[in-house]
Amino acid sequence: MKRLIALLALVLALPLAAPVLGQDTMPPAPYAYQQLEDPALEAKAQELMFTLRCLKCQSQSIADSDAPMAGDMRHQVRTRIAAGEDPEAIRAWLVSRYGDYVSYKPHLSSSTWPLFAIPVIVVLVAGFAIVRRMRARK
Amino acid sequence: MRKVRIGLWVLVGIATFLFGLFAYQLSQPKEEFVKSAMVGQEIPAFDLPAASGSRPALSSADLADGKPKLLNIFASWCVPCAAEAPQLAELERAGVPIVGVAIRDREEDVDRFLATYGNPFTRIGRDDISEVQLSLGSSGVPETFVIDGKGRITYQHIGDIRPEQVSMILEELRKAGA
């Protein structure tokens, strides 16, 4: 019984004693969780952070993620916004590092144009078909 | 009427094609790695303090000294970084200059890591908020960049260097002018 209790205590204490593998123990970057003092600038930063992909947890935005790297990216966004940089310039900076993948905001390019063109074509075709049917009925 | 029917079949065909395309794309394994868009470009300017008492600090100017080298992004808390240590040691023995950037790390932890797994680095910079890592387009640890003598990034290796990949890294260094 004593042994069992000792074993139980050991098992319970283990997560406290063992260092968390694969995760750093450094404090987050200053502006990872700290909002900017100016609410207008913070709103600007938030808007941008929700449209940037977390590279560690690729289905989340950096605003949604608690990964240390997402925190470091938020720090970059907030400090650059506070320094007066334009949100789209910050996005462009990240895209120049990681490619389009880092941005959730689609932009027009040689590979994305069908994304924008197809809905327009579908609406035009549908409109054309409807008009023709209406005419045929009359 | 005949015309309408053909139109319907065309629609069915388009829908089938689209669903087929979705099914195919969804069944494909997803590329997990985010490649850096900085390959082929000049390394961005940076100046990092020393991460360890055993080696000097690292700045971008140290990378443009005429000799191609490896820039290894690592951390003491990163498990695969320990796994690639023997490969880095092998590259060091082959005469490759290797500089390190320690991500979100403490000096005593870096020192302990180097004491345990070896120290193949000539310089180690300390990147506490992943700033240099982000500017390199690197999205994890470990990653290894081949830098030519002029400070241009010529190759990015994502993940730990496996024993069978050492020769490939040496080949990339040779292409960079080593």
What's B103's domain CATH number? Answer: 3.40.30.10
Tokens of B41: 């470009």
The domain of A34 spans 2-105
Residue among B154, B124, B157 at smallest CA distance from B140: B157
Residues B59 and B132 in one domain: yes
Residues A18 and A51 in one domain: yes
Residues in A touching B109 (Cβ below 8 Å): 25
Contact residues, chain A to chain B, C-beta under 8 Å = 19, 21-26, 29-30, 55-56, 58, 68-69, 72-73, 75-76, 94-99, 101-102
Residues A95 and A116 in one domain: no
Contacts of A71 (CB under 8 A, 6+ apart): A28, A29, A32, A33
B37 touches chain A (CB under 8 A): yes
pLDDT of residue A79: 96
**Tens digits of residue pLDDT in A21-74:** 567 888 999 999 999 999 999 999 999 999 999 988 878 999 999 999 999 999
Q: Which residue of A has its CA nearest to B43?
A: A97
Rg (CA), chain A: 25
Residues A64 and A78 in one domain: yes
Backbone torsions φ then ψ of B153, nearest 5 degrees? -80, 125
pTM here is 0.81
Rg (CA), chain B: 23
**Tens digits of residue pLDDT in A57-69:** 878 999 999 999 9
Number of separate domains in chain B: 2
Is the predicted ipTM greater than 0.90, yes or no?
A: no
pLDDT of residue A15: 46
Residues A61 and A11 in one domain: yes
Residues B65 and B129 in one domain: yes
% chain B with pLDDT above 70: 98
% chain B with pLDDT above 90: 89
Residues in B touching A23 (Cβ below 8 Å): 77
Residues B60 and B103 in one domain: yes
Residues A15 and A62 in one domain: yes
Number of separate domains in chain A: 2
Residue A33: half-sphere exposure toward Cβ, Cα within 13 Å: 6
Q: Specify whether the backbone of B122 is left (phi greater than 0), alpha (psi in -120 to 50) or beta.
A: alpha
Asked if residue B110 is part of any domain, the answer here is yes
Angle at A45 between CA A41 and CA A50, to 5 degrees: 150
How high does pLDDT run on average in chain A?
Answer: 86
Separation in Å, CA B113 to CA B22, B107, B168, B170: 46, 10, 26, 25
* Lowest-confidence pick of A30-34, A69-73, A115-119, B26-30: B26-30
The domain of B1 spans 1-30
Residues B101 and B16 in one domain: no
